[in-house]
Amino acid sequence: MSEKQSAADQQRNCLGPPPEIDKLINDIFQVSDENKINLFRHIKATSHLMSLIGGQYRKDSLSSARTHLLVRLLVEQRKSGLVVAKDPDRLSGVSPSELSQFLRVSRNTVSSLLNGLEEQGMIEREVHPTDRRQFLIRITPAGETAVLQRAPEFAGFIDGLFDVLTPEEQATLLALLDKLINGLIQRAEDMGVDLPMTVSPMSRDSSD
């Protein structure tokens, strides 16, 4: 099998079943608009592929998930530094539950990530001053150094994922996805779905 055939097979596997099976499935579900079903499949396939590729990026002692967690802690540290003069009593640090929401993973997964980062000396925990059952997580100088080195490298990696699209195509896709996300958020709210804080297109963030 040639490399071109192999790539075509992989693409077909990501996007759905073979055409003859697809037609049978569409008949069962009484699909009236194949474009919408295909959009659903393409978006799911894109998300899956990006998750797989991102998960394999420099899979070493500082994984993608650990890097994202450290970035969140560094943002919180810098944000706290900007407001501490106005609010000296402001607590600095992030709770494990907040990190769980940010990464969209379970608390057990966050706990495992934090244990690994703590062993590496990149984070520190402190008992919450008003609730002894909780901890606040902060980034250490070693963690900050690692983030400031890794983050630009990861940004370059992300850039490469979209090289297949022209700048104009990227802008069009971003606008369409933003519109779709807004519509999905409204649908989720109508259904009473409890959305995590991280589900928000840029247009909504800017209005907060």
pLDDT tier at 154, thresholds 50, 70, 90? confident
27 with 73, same domain: the answer is no
* Tens digits of residue pLDDT in 12-64: 556 667 777 877 877 888 878 788 888 898 999 999 898 888 777 765 667 77
Is residue 208 a part of any domain in this protein?
no
114 with 89, same domain: the answer is yes
Sign of CA dihedral 76, 68, 199, 204: positive
Residue span of the structural domain in which 39 resides: 1-56
Q: pLDDT at position 2, please?
A: 52
**pTM listed for this prediction:** 0.67
Is residue 155 a part of any domain in this protein?
no
On average, the pLDDT of the chain sits at 80
How far apart, in whole angstroms, are the C-alpha atoms of residue 205 and residue 200?
7
Q: How many domains does the chain have?
A: 3
For residue 141, which of 76, 74, 91, 88 has the smallest C-alpha distance? 74
| Beta pairing class for 135-139 and 123-127 | antiparallel
For residue 76, which of 135, 128, 138 has the smallest C-alpha distance? 138
Is residue 157 a part of any domain in this protein?
no
Mean pLDDT is lowest, of 15-24, 178-187, 192-201, for 192-201
81 with 131, same domain: the answer is yes
68 with 146, same domain: the answer is yes
